[in-house]
Structure 1
Amino acid sequence: MSLFKARDWWSAALGEGEEFDQGCLCVGDVDNSGTGQDKVVVGSYMGMLRIFSPNVNKASEGGPADALLLEVQLKNAIIQVEVGKFVS
């Protein structure tokens, strides 16, 4: 018997042939919405930046496309993404 139960409740398939590393993913309240809901930020070496707002998928609701808030193709590779309070 286990005290913890791990379960997949959200997933997203990203572009084919894209390369990622450990610094290409972060989780936080990127848009400072005030609700406290964290978003998932993913950047690839191909320059694709995506921000997801994950929610529990149900058969009657939409899929991962509903969770995608932003998808932008940048000119240069993204080697790391970070979220935090930047103050002087």
Structure 2
Amino acid sequence: MVQVGEKQAGENPVLSPEEHRALLKEYVNRWARVGPLLEAQREEDVRRSDTISNISAFNRLYEMALAASPPVPDSGLVEQQRLFSKLRR
């Protein structure tokens, strides 16, 4: 198996076209084996997740963020325009 970065002393670190193809083929074959396993794991995680609890936890975090940093009453656009108006005079 060809490893990226492996080289003998004095060798060029750039892969030959054959080495590159071999790495790509290995990459594709690996994903062909691992992809279905990852998809099955994802499906199991989704199946086991408690959506209601997750939404509730997210809402609590959102409320905490709002309490720590409440929204400002305005965007500052009116104040900016007032200052621009002053500068024009």
**Which has the higher Rg, Structure 1 or Structure 2?**
2
Same fold flag (TM > 0.5): no
The answer to which structure has the higher strand fraction is 1
Which one has a larger percent helix, Structure 1 or Structure 2?
A: 2
Q: TM-score, normalised by structure 1?
A: 0.17
